[in-house]
Amino acid sequence: MSVTRSRPEDGGSPPLRGPSASERIYLFLASLRFTMLVLSFIAASCVVGTLIKQQAPPEEYLSRFSEGTYVFLRFLGLTDVFHAPWFLVLAGLFVVNLVFCTVERLSRLLKSATEIKVPNEKTLSSMGQTFFLPGKRVEDAAKAFKGYRQAGSDGRGLVLEKGRISQYGVYVIHTSIIVILAGCFIGLMTGFRGSMTLAKGETKDSFMRRGSSQAAAPLGFAIRCDDFKVSFYPNGEPKDYVSSIAIIDHGRRVEEAQVRVNHPLTYKGMSIYQASYGSDPIFRFAIDGKEVSLSQGSVFRADGLTLMVVRFEKSIHTFGPGVQVAYLEGSEQQTSWFLRDVPRLREKEIGGVHVRLQDVSDNFYTGLEIAHDPGVWVVWAGCAMILCGLFMNFFLFYRRIYLLQTSSGILVAGTSPKNKEAFREEFEKWRAIAHGIE
Amino acid sequence: MELNSRILGVVTLLYLLLFFIHLLYLATKKEGIYRAVWLLLYVTFGLHSVGLAVRWVESYRLGMGHAPLSNFYESLIFYAWCISLIVIIMKKRLYIPLITAFASLAALAFMGYASLSPSVDRHIQPLIPALQSNWLHVHVFTCFIAYAAFAVSFLCGVFHLFPWKGIIPPKTKLEELNYRSVMVGFPMLSVGILTGAVWANFAWGSYWTWDPKETWSLITWIIYALFLHARFARGWKGTRIAVLSVVGFASVIFTYFGVNFVLTGLHSYGAS
């Protein structure tokens, strides 16, 4: 996107001796040909990374490919392209190329900015856009071009320019890409993600960390779910889900917040997101007249009675919800179904104790996503920079006006390397103004 | 039938009319007819905007209240709107009958597909929690303006590849127009990707997850970055640049449609 058309390979004056091997390698790594090569490879890897499902469990691949193909794909890293070592190497080569190319071209641009000369009359006339101002001094004529600043002069004429900053836009963009990639790298090396579920009233100080080793990891503080609410649209789709959570650090409630989708909470570098929700059935029994709430799998023990809910069906035939309970009769294990909506089948004597299924209700739990990414602020800084760079490069443009004292008056010529059409209009305006002054 | 559907139905017919008037112009070459084309384009665009606004208002009446940018149908009619917008913004450069003819044909195709295809749900649907964000507006707007600019670039590229002397505009003009539209589309796509990343960080807890849509937008971005570098730094011209703009647009189309229909991911809001 630089305005210079010359290539790094053939820039400058031809050297007397051939470049050394290291110079040749440097020039290749800084060349645009290398950029295009690396970018094409990255784009191709991205295509592969979307056509083959990524990071899926082995069974999923084996259901689609033969075992040999799967082993081969895994070996090449094609089942996890974006974390494969060769992909990181590609990204690294891209950064090297970007740094070298930027340094190479920026130094050339800075050098050319200090060496602006007024071309001769013939070159200027061939620029296409010229007009004559008869009999004035170039210094006086230059004042008419508002918004332009003098970039160079010699005895015969002046060079005026505008929008020089746009020349640097491309380097700002390149630098921001490096900054963004650095932020990504920091995140990749030091960040982690995971999830946790919390039922209403539950407190947890660890979460399930995602990655190669899925394991519970400490949060460094505890999260308590004070409340959780889901609201639905009339068509049954979820409208909003909100967790009222409290952060408990060293035994003290330090922060309370409502976490909802698009509105995370960050505490001590850990961001907490509303990700999902679910519900577990809760079974209320009256055992010997006493109310007991059991969830699936939890065991109830009292006075020689041991029972556990092993299975739950939302509806058994047309009889409504049913709960299968396992209990010990002496030392022998027995099971029995309790049907909530069938009076005869909702209660039973077990070992002389009266057990009655009172109700089945849903206990909602919230699914929170936990993320720690110290690189994210670097990424945001890069994004802010790239916005500036994009503006400089795509919304401003560089133009030059030359004023040359000739025998028949001042020759005015102009050029803009990147936006010829817009400049042509501007130049016509200057022509009209200049002729109006006379 | 809701009011917005009726208005958008009329808009679809107007795009059809617009295309026919183009044909009339190409047959008769009367300057007056082409001026009428532009007048009708303004009217169509105005009514199209009204249709979108009414749909927005009607969503409030249904108790949902969101911009019409939330499902596949809405994205199609918004894309058609963006194509008209780009043509109007670039009027000075795009005062070329062949280009405006095919731009209105493209708008007609998207409007027609949106309103006729049995697989497209045309109802105003509620906004799921992940989409309830102000980032939605700026993200979708910048992406679709970019897609529209790339569509213009694609037309220039395709015309460049066809040797129809006399019918197509001069090749230098097409080339200039081609990279002008990429110069609009590329920064817009960049902003679209960035706003998407910021939003994803709020909604999903990560600014980049290699979701197929994200990945394909990156592929598209790389192709147009290659286009700009080939054009400005290596001085590519002619057929090679034209081919690149066709490849770039193929990638745009895959990012927009292919990802929804062929691949699955987090980003499948546009699919239903």
| Domain layout of chain B by residue ranges | 1-118, 130-267
Residue of A111 and A392 predicted with greater confidence:
A392
Place of tokens 């992406």: B143
Residue in chain A lying closest to B133 (CA) = A262
CB of B78 closer than 8 Å to CB of B85: no
Q: What is the pLDDT of residue A212?
A: 62
Token couple for A200: 């209403």
Give the pLDDT confidence score for residue A187 in this predicted structure.
93
Q: Say if strands A130-133 and A238-249 run parallel, antiparallel, or are unpaired.
A: unpaired
Q: State how far the Cα of B63 lies from the Cα of B44, in Å rounded to an integer.
A: 29
For the entire predicted model, the pTM comes to 0.86
Task: Select from A3, A50, A271 the Cβ nearest to the Cβ of B263.
Answer: A50
User: Between A and B, how many CB-CB pairs are < 8 A?
Assistant: 119
Q: Report helix, strand or coil for B21.
A: helix
- Can you tell me the mean pLDDT for A330-338? 85
Quote the minimal CA–CA distance from A267 to chain B in Å.
Answer: 14
Kindly indicate the confidence band of residue B1, based on its pLDDT and cuts at 50, 70 and 90.
Answer: low
Q: What is the mean pLDDT of chain A?
A: 86
CB A198 within 8 A of CB A365: yes
Q: Which residues of A touch B133 (CB under 8 A)?
A: 262
Q: What is the DSSP letter of B257?
A: I
- Average the pLDDT over B156-178 and give the result: 86
E strand spans, A137-214: 149-154, 157-162, 192-199, 203-209
User: What pLDDT does B136 receive?
Assistant: 92
| Angstrom distance (rounded) from CA A271 to CA A269 | 6
Between CA B153 and CA B161 the distance in angstroms is 13
Question: Residue B202 and residue A263: Cβ atoms within 8 Å?
Answer: yes
Whether the predicted pLDDT of B76 surpasses 80: yes
User: Which residues, 6+ apart, have CB-to-CB distance to A263 below 8 Å?
Assistant: A274, B202
Minimal Cβ distance to B205: which of A42, A233, A271: A271
DSSP string, B172-222: HHHHHHHHHHHHHHHHHHHHHHHHHHHHHHHHTS-S----HHHHHHHHHHH
The residues, any chain, with a CB within 8 Å of residue B249's CB and separated by 6 or more, are B150, B151, B153, B154, B157
Segment B101-126 mean pLDDT: 91
Q: At B264, is the secondary structure helix, strand, or coil?
A: coil
Using a CB-CB cut-off of 8 Å, the residues of chain A touching B223 are 43
Report chain B's C-alpha Rg in angstroms: 19
pLDDT classification of A272: cutoffs 50, 70, 90: very high
A88 touches chain B (CB under 8 A): no
CA dihedral A91, A93, A96, A100 (to 10 degrees): -130
Within 10 A of A228 (CB to CB), how many other CB atoms are there?
24
Which residues on chain B are in Cβ contact (under 8 Å) with A39?
222, 225-226
Question: Could you give the CA distance from residue A351 to residue A362 in angstroms, rounded to a whole number?
Answer: 29
State the average pLDDT over residues A100-111.
88
Q: With 0-12 CB in 10 A as exposed, 13-18 as middle and 19+ as buried, what is B102? A: buried
Q: Residue B93: its chain A contacts at CB < 8 A?
A: 421
| A380 has a pLDDT exceeding 80 | yes
d(CA A12, CA A19): 13
The pLDDT, as a whole number, for residue B264 is: 60
Chain A: residue nearest B229 by CA? A1
Per residue in A35-51, pLDDT (tens digit) is: 999 999 999 999 999 88
- Confidence band (pLDDT; 50, 70, 90) for A11? very low
Listed range (B196-200, B241-245, B256-260) with the worst mean pLDDT: B256-260
Residue B27, sorted as left (phi over 0), alpha (psi -120 to 50) or beta, turns out to be: alpha
Residues forming beta bridges with residue A195, ordered by sequence position: A208, A369
Residues of A in contact with B178 (CB under 8 A): none
Contact B219 A46 (CB under 8 A): yes
8 A C-beta contact, residue A148 and residue A167: no
Paired sense of beta strands A347-350 and A332-339, if any: unpaired
A-chain residue closest to B180, CA distance? A419
DSSP codes of every residue in A149-167: EEEEEETTEEEEEE-THHH
CA atoms within 13 A of residue B132's CA, in its CB half-sphere: 15
B95, amino acid identity = Y
CA gap A280, A363 in Å, rounded: 5
Q: Tell me what pLDDT residue A299 has.
A: 85
Q: What integer pLDDT is reported at residue A15 of this predicted model?
A: 52
Residues A225/A241, Cβ–Cβ less than 8 Å: no
- Is there a contact between A213 and A239 (Cβ–Cβ < 8 Å)? no
Main-chain phi, psi angles of A391, to 5 degrees: -60, -50
User: Among A385, A222, A376, A387, which Cα is nearest to B202's?
Assistant: A376
CA A46 to chain centre: 15
Tracing tokens 């997850």 back to the chain, one arrives at B209
Residue A135, sorted as left (phi over 0), alpha (psi -120 to 50) or beta, turns out to be left
Q: Which of A224-228, B79-83, B236-240 has the highest mean pLDDT?
A: B79-83
Q: What is the mean pLDDT of chain B?
A: 90
Question: How far is B185 from B189, CA to CA, in rounded Å?
Answer: 6
Q: What is the pLDDT of residue A18?
A: 72
Kindly report the nearest CA distance between residue B110 and chain A, in angstroms: 26
Q: Which candidate from B187, B197, B202 shows the least CB-CB separation from A262?
A: B202
**Cβ–Cβ gap A262/B129 under 8 Å:** yes
B207-246 pLDDT, tens digit per residue, is 998 989 999 999 999 999 999 999 888 888 889 999 999 9
Side-chain-side CA neighbours of residue A25 (13 Å): 4
Distance between B24 CA and the closest CA of chain A, angstroms: 30
User: Residue A10 — pLDDT band, cuts 50, 70, 90?
Assistant: very low
Q: Per-residue pLDDT averaged across B155-168, rounded?
A: 85
**Strands ordered across the beta sheet of A305-313:** A299-302, A305-313, A322-329, A332-339
For A201, the enclosing helix (H) or strand (E) is none
Closest to A204 (Cα-Cα) out of A366, A374, A372, A373: A366
Q: Which of B157, B181, B187 is nearest to B169 (CA)?
A: B157
Buried b / exposed e across A366-385, counting CB within 10 Å, b at 16+?
A: bbbbbbbbebbebbbebbeb
CB–CB of A188/A373 below 8 Å? no
Token couple for A364: 């909602």
Average pLDDT over residues A108-113: 82
CB-side neighbour CA atoms (13 Å) of B233: 24
Confidence at B85, pLDDT banded by 50, 70, 90: very high
| Identity of the residue in B176, B233, B259 whose CB atom sits nearest the CB atom of A32 | B233
Q: Which of A94, A245, A86, A198 is nearest to B229 (CA)?
A: A94
- Long-range interactions of A361-364: CB distance < 8 A, separation 24+: A361/A281, A361/A282, A361/A284, A362/A279, A362/A280, A362/A281, A362/A282, A363/A199, A363/A200, A363/A279, A363/A280, A363/A281, A363/A282, A363/A295, A364/A199, A364/A200, A364/A228, A364/A230, A364/A277, A364/A278, A364/A279
Given a cut of 80, is residue A438 above it in pLDDT?
A: no
Percent of chain A at pLDDT > 90 equals 33
For residue A413, which of A115, A133, A149, A113 has the smallest C-alpha distance?
A: A133
d(CA B199, CA B206): 9
Contact B79, B110 (CB under 8 A): yes
Interface of A with B in 325-354 (CB under 8 A): none
The pLDDT, as a whole number, for residue B51 is 96
Q: Where are the beta strands (DSSP E) in A234-304?
A: 238-249, 252-260, 265-267, 270-287, 290-295, 299-302
